Amino acid sequence: MLIVMPPSPHVPDHGAVLGEVRKVRRAGVVRLRALDLPALVEAARELPPGDGESPGGPVEKVLRLAVSRMGGGTLQTAAEYSLGLAQGTRDWPAADRRRRAAQVYGVSVERFRKHHELMVLGQVAEQVVQLVGRAGAVAAATAAAPVPMPSDRMPDAHRALSVRVHHRTVPIMIHVHSVDLLRDIDVVVSPSNIYFALPAAYKASVSATLRRAGAHRDPVGGLVEDRIDDELRGWTARHGVPGRAAQPGTVAVTSAGTLADQGIRRIYHVAVAIPRPETNDYDVRPADITRGVARVFALLAEEAPRHDPPLRSVCLPLLGGGRGGLTPLESFGAVWAAVEAELARGADWEIHFVVRRHARADLLERLLTSRED
């Protein structure tokens, strides 16, 4: 069989990317389309396509993805403010963005400009270069090992992978079906808005599907008890947040309602969606996803020994990858940053992912199996 290899990606020069990132810092993302950014445009072309768009087009998408991979903390936060990627800062003047980034490090604006800013922007450029290199490696591996699927065979709904993480191999399972079909997983993670207000049960989102599946109904389908929603309201009342916004990344815990019959024991609701006032839209920031998933593992460690048998397995969707506007690659990058950190310290949780589309499962499988220590 003749295999046509894709052209090797042109990995951009770090210095060229850094120069263009500095241009963006001065102009802000609202003026991206007016800037001459050939290296960033080429980098955006090399990345795999994904769902959703950023207001500033492909260049903004690649910058957001690069910043989301910086591991959180002051470095990532300062980068978000410097480039105008933090919520509400798109149209801030360069001086205001620099001032806010300096506050993140607790230094004067002048000291930040001289000593911190170049480091922050240099790390953004480094992540852009690495993204292009990794995308090329994934594309080459995919083309070099095509696996034709017979027309009479259904795609696998469960994919068991062996993934290298910090010099050890860990098993990871990808489930390709609706979240309500999961079986025998201790904790299922569900995205939520910062008010912990669940969507209507008839909707198609992960949180709506879990609410619907966890409700107790009579023999003809009538609602008897909306268990997950009732418990989530109780959680907000006990923790003093009913009607008020929680901090992004906060995690609320409920039972799984009648999903317990399928071996699902807990649902961890992660606040990642920030509603835009007076609209039906909301924003999801990758850094909040990473913080939220890190909190999931912290809670799992606290709760595990209280149960018999102890909690061991956790299943994660692509948080923010639906109406949240993040591409699957952006969402997975934000989720994986926390998962990888947890596994790197030697944790032995059973990790599962759930997606509904085989194209997304293919992406996750390529990203996970192409990893190297």
66, 57 contact by CB (below 8 A) = no
Whether 73 is covered by a domain: the verdict is yes
Rounded Cα distance, 97 and 92, in Å = 6
Last residue of a domain, one of 86, 109, 144: 144
- Res 371: pLDDT: 64
Q: Are residues 199 and 100 in the same domain?
A: no
175, 315 contact by CB (below 8 A) = yes
- Beta-carbon-side half-sphere exposure of residue 104 (alpha carbons within 13 Å): 23
Whether 292 is covered by a domain: the verdict is yes
Q: The domain containing residue 55 runs over which residues?
A: 14-144
Q: Are residues 352 and 273 in the same domain?
A: yes
Q: Using alpha carbons, list the distances in angstroms from residue 78 to 116, 228, 357.
A: 9, 37, 35
Q: Are residues 139 and 165 in the same domain?
A: no
138, 366 contact by CB (below 8 A) = yes
75, 126 contact by CB (below 8 A) = no
Whether 84 is covered by a domain: the verdict is yes
Q: Are residues 136 and 166 in the same domain?
A: no
Last residue of a domain, one of 100, 116, 144: 144
Rounded Cα distance, 213 and 209, in Å = 6
- Res 51: pLDDT: 42
Q: For the domain that residue 209 is a member of, what is the CATH number?
A: 3.40.220.10
Q: Is 272 exposed, middle or buried (0-12, 13-18, 19+ CB in 10 A)?
A: buried
Whether 150 is covered by a domain: the verdict is no
Whether 220 is covered by a domain: the verdict is yes
Q: Are residues 192 and 334 in the same domain?
A: yes
Q: Are residues 309 and 282 in the same domain?
A: yes
Q: Which residues fall within 8 angstroms of residue 127, CB to CB, at 6 or more apart? A: 65, 66, 67, 69, 70
Q: Are residues 63 and 94 in the same domain?
A: yes
- The H or E element that residue 229 is part of is helix 227-238
Q: Are residues 125 and 236 in the same domain?
A: no
Rounded Cα distance, 183 and 263, in Å = 6
Rounded Cα distance, 246 and 269, in Å = 12
Whether 168 is covered by a domain: the verdict is yes
Q: Using alpha carbons, list the distances in angstroms from residue 248 to 101, 275, 335.
A: 19, 11, 14
Whether 317 is covered by a domain: the verdict is yes
Q: Are residues 205 and 321 in the same domain?
A: yes
pLDDT in tens for each of the 373 residues of the chain?
Answer: 444 444 445 667 888 888 899 999 999 888 888 888 888 888 888 766 554 455 557 888 889 888 888 777 888 889 999 999 988 888 899 999 999 999 988 889 998 898 889 889 988 988 888 887 766 555 555 555 555 555 556 677 899 999 988 888 999 999 999 999 999 999 999 999 999 999 988 888 899 999 999 999 888 788 899 999 999 999 999 987 667 889 999 999 999 999 999 999 999 999 999 988 877 778 899 999 999 999 999 999 999 999 999 999 999 999 987 777 788 888 999 999 999 999 999 999 999 999 999 989 999 999 898 766 5
Last residue of a domain, one of 117, 144, 171: 144
Q: Are residues 218 and 328 in the same domain?
A: yes
Q: Which tokens go with 44?
A: 């955006």
Whether 2 is covered by a domain: the verdict is no
Q: Are residues 167 and 133 in the same domain?
A: no
Nearest to 289 by CA among 311, 254, 316: 316
For the chain, how many structural domains are there in total? 2
Q: Residue 160 forms beta bridges with which residues?
A: 173
Q: Are residues 187 and 108 in the same domain?
A: no
